[in-house]
Amino acid sequence: MTMKIKYTHQITTMKKLAVLLSIPLLLFSCGNNEKGKSIEELIESENLSEIRAKKTELSKEQSDLTQKLDKLDQAIDRLDKTRRLDLVMIQEINDTLFKHYAEVQGDVATDENIVVYAEFSGILQDLRVKEGEQVNKGEVLAKIDDGGLSSELAQLETQATLAKTTFERQKRLWEQNIGSEMQYLEAKTNYESMQNSVNRLKSQLDKTIVRAPFSGIIDEVLTEEGEVVNPGQSQLFRLVSLKNMYVEADVPEGYLNKINKGTEVLVEISSLGREFEGEVKRVGNTINPNNRSFSIQIAVPNENGMLKPNQIATLKLNDYTAENAVIIPENALLKNAQGESVVFILQEKEEGEDNIGIAKRQIVKTGYTYNNKIEITSGLETGETLIVEGAKNLRDGQEVKIRN
């Protein structure tokens, strides 16, 4: 009995192979019978209409043969009790939240990263900080020799005090109708002039004291005590604050209507192996003509001070979001001969084993793809069972076995 089954199976397989081998012979025969011309002769004739007609004819014959082969395969599958079913893996289709991200490169930056320059000309006589030292806003970093301004200020303040006393006495006399108005006005003008001179000299003297414009770290000391410094030319310190950090990046112009203030962003710092969640805090209002892009800024936390200016960051910008979306693994999607997107779903058999079903081919429409997942916009419904592995060599209506 066993020998008979094997012999029957071999005959069925040989018949199927004979049909497959006959296809090229049939096509070749058709190619040689068109008005007595072979395919080569038809091509050499360069008659476009005849060539197209022959192609249409052969395509139809090929399609008919394919359909006949499919029917034979189905009959063989139905009659051959010894066949081995293709194994597949499945998953149920559920709707979910789908987010697509566009990736761009950016740089970590901070507005509080400056070089402190001298504002007064003189000798740097008192350097009070070292590299790596934490300083507070307004703290004195250095002093420049004032070149005698302090002595000049003391003299002016004495003169201003005398002018004030004279003015106040003249004012009292004028209120008692004693003295002339001219004396009163001269005393007032002299006092105000002396006071302005004092304030102007104090302002100049204040520039001899170098203070921290904000709280931060002295990253570099760029001068030495005893050097002559000049305003706007001599660099004294580099002061950096790592508290208010952000990532700056250029985004292609095509995303202008998708990226707005508040857009969700994932910030990946590969050098630290960390990823932050953030949002766009500023969108540039101009397009760079050199690379057709606009700038954005994303605030990032830096609690432990690990982020440094000019570090490279990868930004994942949420440019598309779909609620209740149908999402499938990208490798479950196939393409047919017409270039259409195809998937296979599993249908239960009316009778039979629980782990055997029917593979049903369905044409679908796709949307965005991200992170090996693809959005299906039509052709699949929630609750259907998708074949996610083993679908590559399946045909419509084929029986398959579910792999646990």
CA distance 97 to 379: 18
Residue with tokens 């990253």: 219
- What DSSP character marks residue 136? -
Instruction: Show pLDDT as tens, one digit a residue, over the chain (404 residues).
Output: 333 333 333 434 444 444 444 544 444 444 444 445 788 888 888 888 888 888 888 888 888 888 888 788 777 766 765 567 888 899 999 989 999 999 999 999 998 999 999 999 999 999 999 999 999 999 999 999 988 888 888 899 899 999 999 888 888 888 888 878 888 888 899 999 999 999 999 988 999 999 999 999 999 999 999 999 999 899 999 999 988 899 999 999 999 999 999 999 999 999 988 898 989 999 999 999 999 999 999 998 887 888 889 999 999 999 999 999 999 999 999 998 888 999 999 988 766 667 888 899 999 999 999 989 999 999 999 999 999 998 888 888 888 888 87
Which residues neighbour 370 within 8 Å (Cβ) at sequence distance 6 or greater? 98, 99, 100, 101
Report the chain's terminal Cα–Cα distance, integer Å.
33
Number of other CB atoms surrounding residue 238 within 10 Å: 17
For residues 268 and 316, the answer to whether their CB atoms sit within 8 Å is yes
| CB of 341 closer than 8 Å to CB of 363 | yes
Cβ(211)–Cβ(152) under 8 Å? no
pTM of the model: 0.58
User: Mean of the per-residue pLDDT values for the chain?
Assistant: 85
CA 39/CA 30 separation, integer angstroms? 9
- pLDDT, position 174: 82
Q: How many CB atoms lie within 10 A of CB 343?
A: 23
DSSP-assigned beta bridge partners for residue 114: 239
pLDDT of residue 99: 92
Contact 238, 130 (CB under 8 A): no
CA atoms within 13 A on the CB side of 173: 16
Cβ distance 317 to 249 under 8 Å?
A: no
